[in-house]
A and B are shown apart, each in its own frame.
Chain A
Amino acid sequence: EPEVTQTPSHQVTQMGQEVILRCVPISNHLYFYWYRQILGQKVEFLVSFYNNEISEKSEIFDDQFSVERPDGSNFTLKIRSTKLEDSAMYFCASRVGQVPGELFFGEGSRLTVL
């Protein structure tokens, strides 16, 4: 069964460092998302991406975040200068265009900022 894959599964970084989280969505999916979940809290939307551009972003997704689809398959989230509060699980998700359009999630990338 096709699945969304994310790398790395866990990354530890120093505050102020840049981090890139990578995702390979399911191949025939058209819509892509990044969500984050701070430990023990709700799943929060960061950004959605369609047709090679951002379609919607939350207030969390400030200037230190960026997304790219560099080669038509990978979908990356970059955090330019990490802060302690960026420590969270980051989920990539994708869906086809049709209703109901449930999101298929990757297994997440756990980011720990020290």
Chain B
Amino acid sequence: AQKITQTQPGMFVQEKEAVTLDCTYDTSDQSYGLFWYKQPSSGEMIFLIYQGSYDEQNATEGRYSLNFQKARKSANLVISASQLGDSAMYFCAMRPLNSGNTPLVFGKGTRLSVIA
């Protein structure tokens, strides 16, 4: 079974600053994927970034990067140059990659508020 832990229920960041959202995970699978999703107040779930357990480099997508530390089982999301539109809930999720249709398991989320 997989478990995702997001210990920060809420975070504040000044506009244009960087922010790190924490995510730790627990799994017995050798091959797995880690995902971050953004949920703005409108409710939809928007895929942000993916990191595979065998990827040697940290994933980056524009202003999003994933600080992957496999030994610590952490997959923190870093948002650089925060914008007001980044204010949203952020969910970390994971699934094993060699198990067919095993679903994504989500953490409880972190609410990010960007302050002007």
Selected contact of A100 from candidates B50, B103, B105, CB within 8 Å: B50
Chain B residues within 8 Å of A, Cβ to Cβ: 33, 35, 37, 42-47, 50, 52, 91, 93, 95, 97, 100-109
Contacts known (A42-B109, A99-B33, A102-B35); A108 close to B43, Cβ less than 8 A? yes
**Cβ of B101 and Cβ of A103 under 8 Å apart?**
no
A-B contact pairs, 18 of them (CB 8 A): A41-B108, A42-B107, A43-B93, A44-B106, A45-B105, A48-B103, A50-B100, A55-B101, A56-B101, A89-B43, A93-B45, A102-B50, A104-B47, A105-B44, A107-B42, A107-B43, A107-B44, A108-B43
Once the chains are docked, how many angstroms separate the CA of A38 from the CA of B103? Answer: 18
- Chain A residues near B101: list those with CB within 8 A: 31, 48-50, 55-56
Q: How far, in Å, is A108 (CB) from chain B's closest CB?
A: 5
Contacts known (A55-B101, A89-B43, A107-B44); A99 close to B109, Cβ less than 8 A? no
Please classify how large the interface on chain A is, using the bins under 10, 10 to 19, 20 to 34, 35 or more.
20 to 34
Q: How far, in Å, is B68 (CB) from chain A's closest CB?
A: 13
Q: How far, in Å, is A2 (CB) from chain B's closest CB?
A: 13
Q: Which applies to chain A's interface (DSSP): helix, strand, loop or mixed?
A: strand
**Cβ of A99 and Cβ of B52 under 8 Å apart?**
yes
**Cβ of B107 and Cβ of A91 under 8 Å apart?**
no
**Cβ of A43 and Cβ of B45 under 8 Å apart?**
yes
Q: How far, in Å, is B51 (CB) from chain A's closest CB?
A: 9
- Chain A residues near B52: list those with CB within 8 A: 99-100
Query: Considering the complex of A and B, which 10 residue pairs feature the smallest CB-CB distances, nearest first?
Result: A105-B45, A55-B101, A43-B106, A45-B103, A100-B50, A107-B44, A42-B108, A48-B101, A102-B47, A50-B101
Q: How far, in Å, is B46 (CB) from chain A's closest CB?
A: 8
Q: Which of A78-100 contact B (CB under 8 A)?
A: 89, 91, 93, 99-100
For residue B103, which residue of chain A has the nearest CB? A45
Contact with B along A29-51 (1 / 0, CB 8 A): 00101010000011111001110
